[in-house]
Amino acid sequence: MNEIQILTVEMGEEVGLPYFPEGIRAGFPSPATDYEEASIDLNKELVRHREATFYARVKGDSMIDAGFHPGDIVIIDRSLEPQDGDVVIAWVDGGFTIKELDLSELEEGIVRLVPHNEAYERITITREQTNMIWGVVTYCIHQSSRTR
């Protein structure tokens, strides 16, 4: 199971970071593109509900095939209603884990937490269990392979 360390969002003074609003091409560079630089504040871009938003660092590899790697930072919004297929943070057996939510058997009272790594089993949650969906992952800040 992945371990998650939950951190609160601190919204203070705006921190403007260099930003290229026209984007960076993943294909051939355009010689006509100006090198115009703007400013971006990641809190304003990534946080919609400040009081209900938290950051966490991913530990473990149960979601690696979905692009969540150890060391990545996820942004979690607790104000969102979890939907089938969302990546969620769940409280299971005394700890937090990150998994995909499967609600296909909800009418039977069963919720499944699906890992994205064949080495891990699905987690089945029934009505009798005290586990809960803690929040919905809205973004993942992924480290490049060079910085791991």
Catalytic annotation, residues: 62, 99
How many other C-beta atoms can be found within 10 angstroms of the C-beta atom of residue 27? Answer: 5
CA distance to 12, 144, 147, per residue, from 95 (Å): 30, 28, 28
CA distance to 19, 33, 114, per residue, from 3 (Å): 32, 43, 15
End-to-end alpha-carbon separation of the chain, Å?
A: 20
Contacts of 49 (CB under 8 A, 6+ apart): 77, 78, 79
Q: Kind and range of the H or E element at 45? A: helix 42-46
Distance CA 63, CA 13 (A): 34
Phi (first) and psi of residue 146, to 5 degrees: -70, -25
